[in-house]
């Protein structure tokens, strides 16, 4: 899309509807990115909403709270910010009812809220399998619809929605249509913040089980159990509402009624249940009910007071259930799941779904079961569930025992197999699901229950189903990037197989675990698990599976940069494949082998292997694998510098994915193509391709992949110098990851944000972002990411001048990289060592620099070695390890000299510094002639660069060295002349001879000064003594110059010593 700018005041008008004014922004077709969004209402507007849920007819004991809430909601002439009243308390204490009562009364006050009330239940404590908490974006869209904003004008971005929502509320307030916002059942501050008004005239009421003290302008109201009198009032009002105003049993048996209320713990939830039971049998004395409650009471965990009466109240409800409902009530907590679908509940009962649904609805009507808005999943309140589980344990053994649970577990096992068949390209899709999308939807809905079922099979000692279910879930968990769940499932499978002792199950489970560990970026552990699986497969003579395990182990070793071992593993895998008797090559083995060759730098071989893998996939008719192989081939071609061929291969991969409707694969290929364009500095094209990739990820609904595309977009924008846009992209990646509970990608985005903030000169903010990333990486054990975050943190701290913290974070970063087998440990150690050199902490600098050089040497990285030898040599000189310093500085001078000969000015400068410090090192060893040679070569190099300051420094060191070597003055020149006349004398003392060869390197200013002085003296002598013979004049001049020359020589030597000392410092 082509952006077009918007002048301030530009607006999109719709007759009779709200219109938006967007200033300081940009239009992308129908989508606007604006700095300021203002909603203008039409001339006639309806009230926003009168959508409060029904209030209870029986309400008591909260008068003080209602007064405080009313004071917060009343119109105020001046307020600093939008007032927020947050009501918190334990489940069943009546938070929602109290807020609804307050909102209803406020709306009835004339002039308080003529615009109406907006209400939303955020389902903050709803489990993921039931849809999870309501995202703020969904609530914002609902609110905006209530406010009359057309859905077609709503932006996608959460921040833009929030700005539009607040603008709408302000617009209503400006038209004297003040609105009340009620936010029920929030789980966290983050869930509430986007929904809070920004206008101080618009208040909000919030309920939560948590104290939301972090909210701005919030007034906290903690709600506890009712007082004894209020409990009686509630019980009396509820019974009269149900049985009529003449019902007076509570007043007639006030003592027993108080006893019932006390046994209920004065919780409104329990009191309502008891009132319903009494209303069913209006003639029943309260004393009987109180006695039954007291007799039935037992400890119910989770309540600190009043818990025993709640159990009793549940017990009375349970006693009134028919046998079929009671059995389902007892079995539901046996399922060990947070929620359950009607088909699963039917399997638990070993009944039909049609027969089970009425039982579920009946339990819901009895307030013993809750359902989601769609009525498809059912759950029990925690306290109700605990009571139901207790009742099950009290039933005669065998009536509702393990058989029902096994039936339910088998239901999940079988249905997972049917769903997984739609995810494997080589499997026949099960007719149980219409298509791949429905299979994925079922897996998404039941994910938590399926993971729990794996643990259930392990607990039941059913190793076979445990391992097979883990295997069936692996592809799905990999696709959805649920790494933590995959690791938990695989670990349970390994434990179950080892307890069973079956070698095949052990091999299979270890294979699953190794693959999960590799995906979770734990290559060391993955290698161990996969090698163990390969050994077991070998013992079982299953060569085909052995080959796959060995190949996967090779890929894990590749991540550790242990390329020799990785290639050996791939060779062993191919040998096992040949032993299996399979015809032709295996595309998966070739794919992994080619990736390892590419990582090892053998690009031509990698291209050949990936080409063979592509042919094998085509031969097998596996189009999905063909796309992957094309992408891998393109990667290898790009690394080999064959960019045109690489672009063609990427384009073919994109085309194949589009033909198959594989939007995720298309996004992968487009992102890789963008990476190639970025490396070739074609950033505009790269961004266009990434926008296409973004569209593909959203079509695929893959939030994980969306974060990767946004990350790539941020990298390209940073290279293009568009730092603000790069920050926006990385923040968007962070937000997507956070919304989808993807801590790894969230942490990686935070690292990039921190780096960009450092580059932008905002180190304080960079520190905060890096620390958040570090916390996330440490939570899920991402050592590689931890190292990245620590490096960004260290850089920002360095910018802030916090040297000690910077050094400590660098040390931790290096340790993290080393633990992960990451080559960047060397560069991090380099940064640490160089910072210590800068701080002149020589002894501390030596160890990290030596480790970094050793690491670079192991990887044949000449550039890395060359960059550190000088710093390490300097530190060694300072630590008086002169022999080691000579070795390193000689090598450094040689490496820099080679590049300087090729015209590298920076390398020439480095050579000069190396030679200067090499001279210092020779001085420490007492080798004056080598010292003189090194300084002379440094002078030559600095002169060639035109660096006058460093040339002077080197000359000062050279003069001192010649003085120490006895080659200064006429003695040096005589030695030089002798060497020129008699070259054979060099064999007697090669070091001295080498230094004399550089005798022509001297300070040319000395010659000029001597000639000028001689001319001046001669001129003066001619003028003062005109008749003196010329020979006499020459003698006089020489004598006159000799005395000051001697004095000057002594002074110069002192000055030179000071200069050399300063240079060494």
Picking from 300, 203, 307, the residue whose alpha carbon sits closest to that of residue 262 is: 307
Picking from 122, 174, 112, the residue whose alpha carbon sits closest to that of residue 143 is: 122
Long-range contacts of 710-714 (CB under 8 A, 24+ apart): 710/736, 710/749, 711/745, 711/748, 711/749, 711/752, 712/671, 712/674, 712/675, 712/678, 713/687, 714/752, 714/756
Which range, of 172-181, 377-386, 932-941, 1050-1059, averages the lowest pLDDT? Answer: 1050-1059
Instruction: Please report, to the nearest 10 degrees, the dihedral formed by the alpha carbons of residues 63, 65, 66, 68 taken in order.
Output: 120
Instruction: Classify burial at 141, counting beta carbons within 10 Å of its beta carbon; exposed 0-12, middle 13-18, buried 19 or more.
Output: middle
Of 85-89, 371-375, 807-811, which has the strongest mean pLDDT?
807-811
pLDDT at 611 over 90: yes
Instruction: Name beta bridge partners: 254.
Output: none
Alpha-carbon distance of 501 to 489, in angstroms, equals: 18
- The band of 971, judged by pLDDT with boundaries at 50, 70 and 90, is low
pLDDT at 7 over 60: no
pLDDT value at residue 652: 92
pLDDT value at residue 696: 92
Instruction: Name beta bridge partners: 121.
Output: 184
Picking from 220, 293, 189, 211, the residue whose alpha carbon sits closest to that of residue 69 is: 220
Instruction: Classify burial at 151, counting beta carbons within 10 Å of its beta carbon; exposed 0-12, middle 13-18, buried 19 or more.
Output: exposed
pLDDT at 534 over 90: yes
DSSP state of 839: T
Rounded to 5 degrees, φ, ψ at 506 are -65, -45
| pTM metric for this prediction | 0.61
Picking from 242, 192, 237, 235, the residue whose alpha carbon sits closest to that of residue 217 is: 192
- Average pLDDT on 833-855 reads 93
DSSP H helices in 720-822:
723-739, 743-759, 763-780, 783-799, 803-819
pLDDT value at residue 26: 35
The SS3 of residue 906 is helix
pLDDT, one tens digit per residue, over 748-788 is 999 999 999 999 999 999 999 999 999 998 887 778 889 99
pLDDT value at residue 740: 83
End-to-end CA distance of the chain: 60
Q: Are 846 and 818 in contact (CB under 8 A)?
A: no
- The band of 1049, judged by pLDDT with boundaries at 50, 70 and 90, is low
Alpha-carbon distance of 94 to 745, in angstroms, equals: 39
DSSP H helices in 63-157:
63-73, 95-108, 136-146
pLDDT at 566 over 60: yes
Picking from 19, 20, 21, 17, the residue whose alpha carbon sits closest to that of residue 44 is: 17
pLDDT value at residue 1056: 57
pLDDT, one tens digit per residue, over 253-280 is 888 889 888 777 677 877 877 787 788 7
pLDDT at 510 over 90: yes
pLDDT, one tens digit per residue, over 25-51 is 433 333 444 445 555 554 444 444 566
- The band of 1037, judged by pLDDT with boundaries at 50, 70 and 90, is low
Q: Are 823 and 859 in contact (CB under 8 A)?
A: yes
pLDDT value at residue 386: 66
Alpha-carbon distance of 548 to 544, in angstroms, equals: 7
pLDDT at 670 over 90: yes
pLDDT value at residue 29: 37
pLDDT value at residue 874: 93
Instruction: Please report, to the nearest 10 degrees, the dihedral formed by the alpha carbons of residues 484, 490, 493, 499 taken in order.
Output: -90
Q: Are 286 and 274 in contact (CB under 8 A)?
A: no
Residues 6 or more apart in contact with residue 828 via CB below 8 angstroms? 787, 791, 810, 813, 814, 817
pLDDT, one tens digit per residue, over 291-309 is 776 664 443 432 233 343 4
pLDDT value at residue 1051: 60
pLDDT at 1004 over 70: no
Alpha-carbon distance of 745 to 700, in angstroms, equals: 18
Which range, of 151-165, 185-199, 727-741, 797-811, averages the lowest pLDDT? Answer: 151-165
pLDDT, one tens digit per residue, over 657-666 is 888 888 888 9
pLDDT at 1045 over 70: no
- Measured CA to CA in angstroms, residue 533 lies from 366, 425, 468, 509 at distances of 53, 24, 16, 8
Residues 6 or more apart in contact with residue 574 via CB below 8 angstroms? 547, 589, 593
- Average pLDDT on 845-857 reads 93
Residue 319, CA atoms < 13 Å, CB-side half-sphere: 14
What percent of the chain shows pLDDT beyond 70? 82
Helix (H) or strand (E) segment spanning residue 157: none
Q: Are 453 and 469 in contact (CB under 8 A)?
A: yes
Alpha-carbon distance of 606 to 601, in angstroms, equals: 9
- Average pLDDT on 903-918 reads 91
- The band of 374, judged by pLDDT with boundaries at 50, 70 and 90, is low
pLDDT value at residue 1052: 55
pLDDT, one tens digit per residue, over 446-494 is 998 999 999 999 988 999 999 999 999 999 998 888 888 999 999 999 9
Residues 6 or more apart in contact with residue 507 via CB below 8 angstroms? 533, 536, 537, 540, 542, 545, 549
pLDDT at 1010 over 70: no
What percent of the chain shows pLDDT beyond 90? 39
Picking from 394, 409, 391, 512, the residue whose alpha carbon sits closest to that of residue 460 is: 409
């Amino acid at each position: 899309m082509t952006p077009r700018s918007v002048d301030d005041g530009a607006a999109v008008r719709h007759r009779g509807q709200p219109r938006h004014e967007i200033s300081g922004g940009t239009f992308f077709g129908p989508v606007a990115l604006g700095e300021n969004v203002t909603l203008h209402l039409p001339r006639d507007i309806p009230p926003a909403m009168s959508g409060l849920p029904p209030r209870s007819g029986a309400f008591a004991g909260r008068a003080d709270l209602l007064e405080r809430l009313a004071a917060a909601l009343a119109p105020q002439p001046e307020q600093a910010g939008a007032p927020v009243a947050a009501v918190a308390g334990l489940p069943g204490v009546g938070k929602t009812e109290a807020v609804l009562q307050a909102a209803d009364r406020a709306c009835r006050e004339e002039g308080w809220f003529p615009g109406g009330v907006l209400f939303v239940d955020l389902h903050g404590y709803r489990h993921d399998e039931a849809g999870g908490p309501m995202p703020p974006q969904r609530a914002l869209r609902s609110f905006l619809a209530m406010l009359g904003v057309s859905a077609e004008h709503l932006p996608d971005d959460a921040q833009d929605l929030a700005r539009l929502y607040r603008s709408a509320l302000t617009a209503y307030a400006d038209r004297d249509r003040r609105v009340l916002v009620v936010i029920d059942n929030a789980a966290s501050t983050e869930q509430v913040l986007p929904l809070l008004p920004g206008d101080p005239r618009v208040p909000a009421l919030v309920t939560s089980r948590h104290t939301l003290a972090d909210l701005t302008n919030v007034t906290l109201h903690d709600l506890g159990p009712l007082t004894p009198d209020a409990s009686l009032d509630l019980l009396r009002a509820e019974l009269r509402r149900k049985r009529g105003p003449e019902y007076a049993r509570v007043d007639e048996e006030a003592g027993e009624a108080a006893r019932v209320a006390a046994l209920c713990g004065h919780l409104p939830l329990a009191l309502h249940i008891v009132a319903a039971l009494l209303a069913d049998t209006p003639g029943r004395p309260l004393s009987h009910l109180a006695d039954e409650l007291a007799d039935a009471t037992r400890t119910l965990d989770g309540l600190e007071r009043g818990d025993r009466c709640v159990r009793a109240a549940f017990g009375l409800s349970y006693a009134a259930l028919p046998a079929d409902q009671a059995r389902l009530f007892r079995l539901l907590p046996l399922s060990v799941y947070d929620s359950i679908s009607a088909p699963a509940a039917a399997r638990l009962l070993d009944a039909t779904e049609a027969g089970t649904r009425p039982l579920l609805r009946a339990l819901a009507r009895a307030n013993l079961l809750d359902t989601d808005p769609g009525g498809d999943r059912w759950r029990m309140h925690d306290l109700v569930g605990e009571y139901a589980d207790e009742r099950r344990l009290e039933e005669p053994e065998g009536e509702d025992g393990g058989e029902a649970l096994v039936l339910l577990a088998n239901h999940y096992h079988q249905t997972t197999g049917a769903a997984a068949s739609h995810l494997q390209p080589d499997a026949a899709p099960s007719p149980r699901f219409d298509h791949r999308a429905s299979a994925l939807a079922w897996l998404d809905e039941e994910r938590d229950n399926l993971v729990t079922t794996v643990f259930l099979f392990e607990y039941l000692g059913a190793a076979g189903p445990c391992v097979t279910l883990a295997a069936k879930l692996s592809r799905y968990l990999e696709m959805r990037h649920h790494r933590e769940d995959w690791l938990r499932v695989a670990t349970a499978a390994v434990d179950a197989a080892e307890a069973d002792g079956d070698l095949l199950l052990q091999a299979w489970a270890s294979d699953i675990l190794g693959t999960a560990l590799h995906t979770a970026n734990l290559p060391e552990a993955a290698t161990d698990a996969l090698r163990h699986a390969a050994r077991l497969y070998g013992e079982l003579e299953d060569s085909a599976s052995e080959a796959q395990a060995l190949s996967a182990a090779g890929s894990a070793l590749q991540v550790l940069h242990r390329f020799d071992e990785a290639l050996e593993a791939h060779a062993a895998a191919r040998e096992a494949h040949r032993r299996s008797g399979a015809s032709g090559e295996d595309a998966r083995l070739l794919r992994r082998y080619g990736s390892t060759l590419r990582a090892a730098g053998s690009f031509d071989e990698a291209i050949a292997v990936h080409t063979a893998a592509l042919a094998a996939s085509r031969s097998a008719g596996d189009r999905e694998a063909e796309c992957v192989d094309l992408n891998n081939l393109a990667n290898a071609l790009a690394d080999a510098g064959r960019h045109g061929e690489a672009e063609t291969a990427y384009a073919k991969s994109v085309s194949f994915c589009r033909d198959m409707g594989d939007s995720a694969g298309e996004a992968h290929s487009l992102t890789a193509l963008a990476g190639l364009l970025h490396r070739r500095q074609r950033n505009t094209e790269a961004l266009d391709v990434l926008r296409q990739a973004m569209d593909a990820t959203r079509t695929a609904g893959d939030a994980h992949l969306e974060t990767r595309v946004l990350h790539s977009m941020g990298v390209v924008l940073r290279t293009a110098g568009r730092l603000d846009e790069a920050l926006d992209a990385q923040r968007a990646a962070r937000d997507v990851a956070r919304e989808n509970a993807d801590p790894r990608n969230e942490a990686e985005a935070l690292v990039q944000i921190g780096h960009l903030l450092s580059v932008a000169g905002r180190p304080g903010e960079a520190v905060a972002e890096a620390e958040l990333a570090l916390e996330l990486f440490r939570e899920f054990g991402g050592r590689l990411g931890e190292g990245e975050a620590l490096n960004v943190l260290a850089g920002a701290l360095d910018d802030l001048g916090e040297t000690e913290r910077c050094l400590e974070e660098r040390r931790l970063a290096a340790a993290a990289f080393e633990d992960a087998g990451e080559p960047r440990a060397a560069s991090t150690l380099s940064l640490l060592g160089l910072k210590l050199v800068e701080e002149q902490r020589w002894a501390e600098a030596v160890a990290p620099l030596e480790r970094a050089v050793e690491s670079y040497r192991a990887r044949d990285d000449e550039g890395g070695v060359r960059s550190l030898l000088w710093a390490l040599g300097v530190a060694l000189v300072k630590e008086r390890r002169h022999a080691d310093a000579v070795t390193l500085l000689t090598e450094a001078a040689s490496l820099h000299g080679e590049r300087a000969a090729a015209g590298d000015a920076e390398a020439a400068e480095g050579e000069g510094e190396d030679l200067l410090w090499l001279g210092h090192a020779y001085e420490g060893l007492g080798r004056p002639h080598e010292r003189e040679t090194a300084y002379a070569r440094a002078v030559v190099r600095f002169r060639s660069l035109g660096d006058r300051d460093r040339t002077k420094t080197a000359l000062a060191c050279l003069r001192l060295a010649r003085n120490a070597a006895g080659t200064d003055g006429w003695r040096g020149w005589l030695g030089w002349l002798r060497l020129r006349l008699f070259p054979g004398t060099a064999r007697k003392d090669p070091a001295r001879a080498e230094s004399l060869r550089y005798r022509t390197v001297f300070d040319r200013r000395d010659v000029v000064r001597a000639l000028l002085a001689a001319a001046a003296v001669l001129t003066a002598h001619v003028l003062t003594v005109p008749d003196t013979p010329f020979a006499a004049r020459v003698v006089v001049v020489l004598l006159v110059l000799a005395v000051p020359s001697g004095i000057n020589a002594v002074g110069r030597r002192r000055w030179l010593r000071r200069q050399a000392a300063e240079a060494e410092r």
